[in-house]
Amino acid sequence: MRTIVARLDSDGDVLLAGPAVRAAAHAGEVVLLCGHGGAQAAELLPGVTRVVRWDCPWIANPAPEVRTPDIEGVVALLKGIRADVALVLTSFHQSALPLALMLRLAGVPKIVARSTDYPGSLLDVRLRDDPDVPEAERALEVARAAGFELPPGDDGRLLVRPLPEPAEVGPYVVVHPGASVPARAWSPDRCARAVVALAEAGHRVLVTGGPNEVELTGYVAGAHGVDLGGRTTFAELAGVLARADAVVVGNTGPAHLAAAVGTPVVSLFAPVVPAVRWAPYGRHVLLGDQEAPCKDSRARECPIPGHPCLDQVTPDRVVAAVAELVGVRT
């Protein structure tokens, strides 16, 4: 049995597909189809035999052009995989049907996805409902609809492959100030003040970020934190998070990475998407006004002056949330 599991957006989304991947892998090989923005996470997922990268024009942001040779090339690639079944995993605002059409043209005999729109002959198994449950559970439901189940002893939590040993030794708390979507980030000034408050409370504080966030992490770390911005691969970041007492982070990939390594999360969660679906799938404390005017807007840039949903959270509240979580791991 060979299964294509498609999750075409970012690292966090791919991590949340992990339980569905493991269910499919219990029955055979899994080829994970993802965008370049999710490939780092894909390489960490247990059960993945092969990763195929493709930036999908109706999912990626910014979106690449739709070009006939590119689409024909992907169809040929999918055909060459010779899959027995495909699981198309999407968020509530995404359609599975364009990819289902390409999979059908590639000759995949069984295609399973969730679709509120009429799929015609594009899907063999269609989940019509859109339950308000964590994203990892929604994805696992698609795998189960295809006939896959988690192996015995697998409780469905997020997991990653064994990690390299990090250079940093504990104890420490991680603050990750960046976010892939600006509307979901706590302001740099608030993050910097939180680092000071955590340090004054007796914590050693590491500040993490990607290569394009080194100016941000340097500012946030200041004189009270250790700046690791741009100094870790995604796998190395997972190792750093795994040894942390807690991680302070917005709704972005490292929040789900922390959950996948069992570290509790102080989640600074802007309600532009629902927390019931996207909060860290593990032990966490949720901070931020979930009834703010931006609720469910899916805004990428904050539409409300002053970013009140997150910037009303004080550094002292973050310190208190960290105190609640230290010593409690999943």
> What does the pLDDT look like over 73-127, one tens digit per residue?
999 999 999 999 999 999 988 999 999 999 999 999 999 999 999 999 999 999 9
157 within domain boundaries: no
Nearest Cα to Cα of residue 269 among 261, 277, 258: 277
Domain housing 121: 2-145
Across residues 310-328, what is the average pLDDT? 93
Question: What's the confidence (pLDDT) of residue 303?
Answer: 86
Same domain, 120 and 199: no
pLDDT band at 191 (very low <50, low <70, confident <90, very high): very high
Same domain, 71 and 210: no
* Helical (H) or strand (E) element with 139: helix 135-145
Q: Domain with 91 in it: what CATH number?
A: 3.40.50.2000
d(CA 255, CA 19): 17
What is the rounded average pLDDT for all residues in the chain?
A: 95
- DSSP letters of 4-64? EEE--S-HHHHHHTHHHHHHHHTTSEEEEEE-GGGHHHHTT-TT-SEEEE---TTTSSSPP
Same domain, 177 and 319: yes
Across residues 165-191, what is the average pLDDT? 89
Structural contact between residues 177 and 191, judged by C-beta atoms closer than 8 angstroms: yes
pLDDT band at 164 (very low <50, low <70, confident <90, very high): confident
Same domain, 123 and 22: yes
The number of CA neighbours under 13 Å toward the Cβ of 216 is: 20
Same domain, 234 and 295: yes
pLDDT over 90 (residue 52): yes
pLDDT band at 141 (very low <50, low <70, confident <90, very high): very high
60 within domain boundaries: yes
Cα separations in angstroms, 151 against 21, 44, 56, 160, 217? 11, 19, 31, 16, 40
Question: What's the confidence (pLDDT) of residue 170?
Answer: 75
| Strand order, beta sheet including 111-114 | 50-53, 29-34, 2-6, 85-88, 111-114, 125-127
- Per DSSP, the three-state class of 247 is strand
Same domain, 239 and 139: no
165 within domain boundaries: no
Same domain, 262 and 118: no
Phi-psi region of 290 (alpha: psi -120 to 50; beta: other; left: phi over 0): alpha
Question: What's the confidence (pLDDT) of residue 329?
Answer: 58
156 within domain boundaries: no
Q: How many domains does the chain have?
A: 2
What proportion of the chain, given as a percentage, has pLDDT over 90?
89
The more confident residue out of 165 and 113 is 113
267 within domain boundaries: yes
164 within domain boundaries: no
pLDDT over 90 (residue 13): yes
Question: What's the confidence (pLDDT) of residue 234?
Answer: 95
Same domain, 42 and 107: yes
Q: What does residue 241 show for φ and ψ, rounded to 5 degrees? A: -65, -35
Question: What's the confidence (pLDDT) of residue 171?
Answer: 93
Give the pLDDT confidence of 179-190 residue by residue, as tens digits: 988 889 999 999
Give the pLDDT confidence of 194-234 residue by residue, as tens digits: 999 999 999 999 999 999 999 999 999 999 999 999 999 99
Same domain, 196 and 73: no
Same domain, 55 and 123: yes
Across residues 125-138, what is the average pLDDT? 95
Question: What's the confidence (pLDDT) of residue 142?
Answer: 98
Give the pLDDT confidence of 272-307 residue by residue, as tens digits: 999 999 999 999 999 999 999 999 898 888 888 888
Same domain, 87 and 183: no
Give the pLDDT confidence of 250-268 residue by residue, as tens digits: 999 999 999 999 999 999 9
pLDDT over 80 (residue 327): no
227 within domain boundaries: yes
Nearest Cα to Cα of residue 139 among 89, 99, 92: 89
Same domain, 230 and 191: yes
132 within domain boundaries: yes
- CA-angle at 124, arms to 123 and 128, nearest 5°: 65
